[in-house]
A and B are shown apart, each in its own frame.
Chain A
């Protein structure tokens, strides 16, 4: 075994110290959330704050859990986020393929019109979309929470850019081999852009998971509400019960961590491809 040069050892030590410091720094908010969720009402407002709770108040979890029907909210959120994500992937992939590889009249104009809609602030659409949903009598249904988000111009644009990078020669070669457009799309195009598509899926899922205003607008019954609505129940006009917010957040973050563990590889690759900050 070859003995290592002292310089290399020092470099390694510096590298790991920096990495560990970075890891701790990133973990801190999460650790803080968990520790805060176990503090008592008077300890959470104490200045300077304590790191480790004097007394572990596991009752915060029971109290937070009892405040809203979280299991139902959880199911609703998962369902809405999943269906929205699958739907938005389908529409984005199909339209991105059309814009990048197919020739049809008015392609450039339609694409420009698509892009132009990115300039309209979401708030402007809120009320008009709401009125549409009301006229369709979709209030208080899953449809109302899902259908308006099934197409997304930004994701279409993102995927169009990725698909455009795939050489036309591949597409034409497939054509020569009598491969249909759809077959080419799902057998070649999609696997080649796996990472970009995963990124879109993750962004869409997180967006849907965190959405608050729209689901609130289009639902009225407790059965149809989502997790983000549960979290605001600890706020009032005169203050916020932070220990309960933290306890509820801890409960809610568990499923996200599980998803992350399964998809870790794709998420990291996807992020580095698009430069989206995690």
Chain B
């Protein structure tokens, strides 16, 4: 600045510095804005308990387990469908929680990364759990996740409507078709299920697909068509609404409660809603099978808790201790009762069935139920979409069952490496 600075230049210079500084502020904040190291006495949990009641119920169980250990538990809850992406973002910034609660179907993709600690290494004894629960938490033969309780699907029916029509809950597919037809009249469909093109619809399709001999690793093995044909026949008989292709499991329950469906496929998580209303007198039966004498193969669902690897083995140990306590027989039973799901320890499941005989069919199903990821592991999301495509195109009349499963198999194996 040679000579006298003019009056115009001085304020401009100040402003120039100010703007330049202002521009740099976000950059520096961005660099220093890393997460603070968590307190060693606190165990953090990432879960989907965003609902206040659910969050508090969870916290009560965590506190019960953490207090005797001199620890505290802090939950970070995000909506269920964002847990996985939130966890990934946390992993990339090295700030993943000490316990990660994922949907069972998402576990393989996390286990495959090598970022999870095998549960045996954090001192969790997983003997005495039902086989289905063990497979839900396992990837490649190693158990990474533990489920406190699991759910499955069953046939729920409107007792009054069945009594009025003089029919019993169906146990086989031909019976299901006949019964559904009998029960259909006026504004009421005989049957309702979810066939939405997402996880809900696929979850409901699986008990039929599997019971008929379908195989998720080879969709076109020639046995999966039976389930598609059954669904299509039910629709063709007008025993189910054409809208099933849009209904998620909540919609199905709404239809049932409104008296617009005499029977439905649904899970135990609907029990609070069903118990809170007095319009429909309901009961639970197992899902019908293709022929008498066969056993229904239902899918097992629910969340699993995993321990991400940490630089601090003490944190992993603490997480392991909390998990061990949460999964004691007593705590599992209490938790299962609070969320209407079946405890995964075989002994806890037995006492659960004794205390809640109306939900016993779920307990029986869970013992034989199958995990969606047991066979296809990390490829499940792709298979999920392929299966959804198959039943959606069959139900909307686009393709026949056989062609639909051929297409699905092509779609499922397209990304296979």
Whether chains A and B associate is no
Binding site for B on A (CB under 8 A): none
